[in-house]
Structure 1
Amino acid sequence: MNALLGVVFLLFAAVPCIQGQYEDARCKCICPNPSVVNATTESNRKHYIGNVPPNKCNCDSVVLAKVGDLIKGKEQEFCPRCECKYESRNTTTIKVVVIIVVWAVSLLVVYMLFLVCLEPLISGRTGKSYQEHVDEDESHQMTTTQQGGVLDRVGHQQDKWKRQVREQRRNIYDRHTMLN
């Protein structure tokens, strides 16, 4: 358990130190392959991404800076085939959402571990203090749950549920009938 807590602590301590190589805003141009302008048969489209201001999000600023040598003299033929879009995103919001999801999953895992550790206590106590009866009356149930603590009540409900499941299985598989 201490090792798990140590790993979780190290992960959360390392998160602020990790710097991604991304920008919140970018210009993304989708253009044909430069070989299309040079009259070859390849017609795949390529993505060109540049970090430029919104007013410079065009073929001249983003694409020609990267493939200018391949299409010299044919820029007017190549650039109209490009589609450029300026994209922006809020990475802070993305980080907050990811942290919330990680915390929710962590809480569910801790709750599951708590229930796994609690089950032996419940089954151990209910086995000693409560004998299973096929025909049980409501007054006996009320006195048992009032006298016992929370664990006894939870164990009693769990035993009741297990009996109902056994009865349903017996009715369905042995008698081929369904309960209402």
Structure 2
Amino acid sequence: MSCGWGRSWMFAAAAVVTVFLLDVVVFARAKSFEDVRCKCICPPYRNITGHIYNRNFSQKDCNCLHVVEPMPVPGHDVEAYCLLCECKYEERSSNTIKVTIIIYLSVVGALLLYMLFLLLVDPLIRKHDPYTQPLHNEEDSEMRPQAESSSQARGNTVLERVEGAQQRWKKQVQEQRKTVFDRHKLLS
């Protein structure tokens, strides 16, 4: 029952990630992005508030007279207004941005699926260790050598080697905690 639920949950997560990635691709294609633009930033002028104008123009036409439409000032103030505006020509590669985002989302999605897979499979692979005790139990240090010798007698499969390394690491952590707590007790 738990295994069936885990498979359906993993399938649902994969479906959600796939739909999300497809939605990003469709949205990126549906909206037409321009790779070149002229951006003019015009500060406040007399009683007119500042404004930013973006238009798709070539680099030679990137100036206030072409980009600022409608012109907010009357004809005799246009030159003074345009001298205040700062116009910049900008280029970008939207295809490179799209590909980078898709690769990033694919890697994150694959890592999430791998994490879900490990969360679902780990309890099935891991066997109950009767020697597992709470970390601060003093009897644990006496039982660990027996557990390690029995696991070495079983064989040297990859899983058993990984479990052995994990047990050694847990033992080291427990010893470090024990020395830290003992030192803390001695100092206080």
TM-score by length of 1: 0.76
> Aligned AA for 1:163?
K
Partners of 2:118 and 2:77 lie apart in 1 by: 69
C-alpha distance in 2, partners of 1:145/1:91?
60
- Cα distance change of structure 1 residues 110 and 145 upon mapping to structure 2, 3 Å threshold: farther
Q: Corresponding residue for 1:9?
A: 18
The alpha carbon displacement at 1:145 in A equals: 7.7
Partner of 2:38: 27
Look up the SS of the partner of 1:70 in the other structure.
Answer: coil
Matching residue's letter, 1:50 = R
Q: Given the superposition, is the C-alpha separation of residues 58 and 117 from structure 1 closer, same or farther in structure 2, using an over 3 Å criterion?
A: same
Question: Please, what is the CA RMSD of the aligned residues?
Answer: 3.1
Runs of 5+ unmatched residues, structure 2? 1-9, 133-139
CA distance in 2, matches of 1:150, 1:30: 64
**Is the deviation greater in 146-155 or in 93-102?**
146-155
For structure 1, the 5+ residue unaligned runs are none
Q: 2: distance between equivalents of 1:156 and 1:100?
A: 36
Cα 1:69/1:140, change in 2 over 3 Å: closer
Aligned to 1:96: 99
Quote the sequence identity (%). Answer: 36
Query: What is the TM-score of this pair, normalised by structure 2?
Result: 0.73
Q: Which runs of 4+ in 1 moved over 3 A?
A: 12-16, 69-72, 132-137
